[in-house]
Structure 1
């Protein structure tokens, strides 16, 4: 059984692009998976099959057919949750560092979804069995506040707010080096790394991305910053801070391979989330306090400078 997930006319700005590059930037799939679909004849241009290197033309109409995923039973697990707020429509969680948000091949237990299924009787079904209720994500090693939809109406409302950039997302991070200016922004497109498809990067053919940042405290070799993302690209803050020469401490993917602190991942915390409540239509903000790993690192850095 195939599910048609995209039927669209090619935007003028994308004429001349390879079809696999274009679809990888437009859809939540890797370029290798898109290529596989193309080679299997599941991607059609004007109802005809094409090759992965096909160059898009004006008035091209693209249809993408995705094979239905294998049905998998995700088991509820009694995993403690740090709940910041909960009602009939949403549940707001302070996700710990090290927790994966949703199951994926090879990792079907111990995730936030497993914990939510145990805690909640109902979750939105829009994102299917693997991602019930999940409207937005945090990386495994990023901690902080997340909102989860308990029903489809709430899910659609939150997804629309994200699309229209009406949700406020404030993060804090400790980065390498000393940022001289008190505040600034990074406006640079993000897409799949051309050489390493598991990574994201600032690339010319990427999607628009904007990150605002403000210095909270300077140290001898590091800076404590607040970052507000106006777009929600994968790994956005990690990529943008590395792009300006200040990768996040503990980030071995986009930063330094050798770390001077004994950390389990990047020091990045989603501190505040502001949304319009899907049912009450009221603006609400939720804040997740700094986790222990974050506080200890700042204390350690301060002590080394005394």
Structure 2
């Protein structure tokens, strides 16, 4: 944890909602770090509360206390941007302020620790697109994300004004995001809302789960086609938690087909030729960040999802 001069310091008050929580949990939540990294920062003296280094990661904080954190340096693989062409990355729309892409499966939104594969930001840079410099270095221009294993529409900010306005629009839930998903079984009722908080899985750090102390998470769904053993769903999100659709459908007892991480039947996925969850962000609607007019974008299903759907229809 040397070379502090090359590292960033973040300072902020502790929100009322985190009153009484452990300092490592607060650092993790506020800065998006893993609990392990947050605990390491506390142990290294890189976290201060009201100007005093925290004595232990278990120290409890009070609302309004001033928190300062010296962030760890980015991994070396994030210091060099991978500006490489991305196969299947389709430009849906492009102007001076935004670029809308259809992200293929197997592509991350931006670089992150442990990910050495292709990214949307790298693919756009390789194609000659200039994107906003706002946001953390590895996430410049990114205003929302899709999982690596989820395909579909993403908007990336090109201008600084677009970045600020789109971030605000997503935060205020003024962006309509629609997904199509195939869930195992037949949800009852066929249309409904899942309002259940999502947080880290209590035993598996790589997963998320419905937990009592999680963040508010709301998913709306409608069944639009039924097959033997599966249902095609139209899904809308009020919130944008990591793995939200996957976690909520798993909690209903209807995991997405192909989603082995959240309990799907691997034999069904194999029969349908799927190597990932059947989930696609097919529609994106928002007010253009500088013009104000509503813009709507749609995307067809990728070939692997179309094939799986065709096989389900054959079963019918």
Q: Tell me: CA distance 1:36–1:259, structure 2 relative to 1, closer, same or farther (3 Å).
A: farther
Counterpart contact for 1:31–1:197, Cα < 8 Å? no
Aligned to 2:124: 116
TM-score relative to the length of structure 2: 0.90
Unaligned runs of 5+ residues in structure 2 are none
Alignment match of 1:30 (pick from 11, 17, 34): 34
Where do 1:77-116 residues align within 5 Å?
Answer: 77-80=84-87, 81-116=89-124
Deviation of 1:68 (Å): 4.1
Aligned to 1:221: 229
Alignment match of 1:187 (pick from 192, 195, 199): 195
Q: Indicate the SS of the match to 1:148.
A: strand
Q: Indicate the SS of the match to 1:279.
A: coil
Greater percentage in helix: 2
Structure-2 separation of matches of 1:129 and 1:18: 28
Alignment match of 2:70 (pick from 36, 59, 65): 65
Q: Deviations over 1:166-198 (max 9, x none)?
A: 111001100111113131111111111122222
Q: Tell me: CA distance 1:58–1:104, structure 2 relative to 1, closer, same or farther (3 Å).
A: closer
1:5 paired with 2:16, answer no
Counterpart contact for 1:249–1:255, Cα < 8 Å? no
Aligned to 1:272: 283
Q: Which has the higher contact order (CA 8 A, sep 6+)?
A: 1
Aligned to 1:255: 263
Deviation of 1:219 (Å): 1.6
Unaligned runs of 5+ residues in structure 1 are none
Q: Deviations over 1:187-225 (max 9, x none)?
A: 111111122222111112211111111111122211111
Where do 1:191-202 residues align within 5 Å?
Answer: 191-202=199-210
1:246 paired with 2:257, answer no
Aligned to 1:146: 154
Aligned to 1:205: 213
Deviation of 1:26 (Å): 3.2
Structure-2 separation of matches of 1:237 and 1:260: 19
Q: Deviations over 1:140-164 (max 9, x none)?
A: 1100000011122211111010111
Q: Which moved more, 1:39-48 or 1:250-259?
A: 250-259
Aligned to 1:14: 18
Q: Tell me: CA distance 1:121–1:97, structure 2 relative to 1, closer, same or farther (3 Å).
A: closer
Q: Tell me: CA distance 1:136–1:58, structure 2 relative to 1, closer, same or farther (3 Å).
A: closer
TM-score relative to the length of structure 1: 0.93
Counterpart contact for 1:141–1:264, Cα < 8 Å? no
Aligned to 1:301: 312
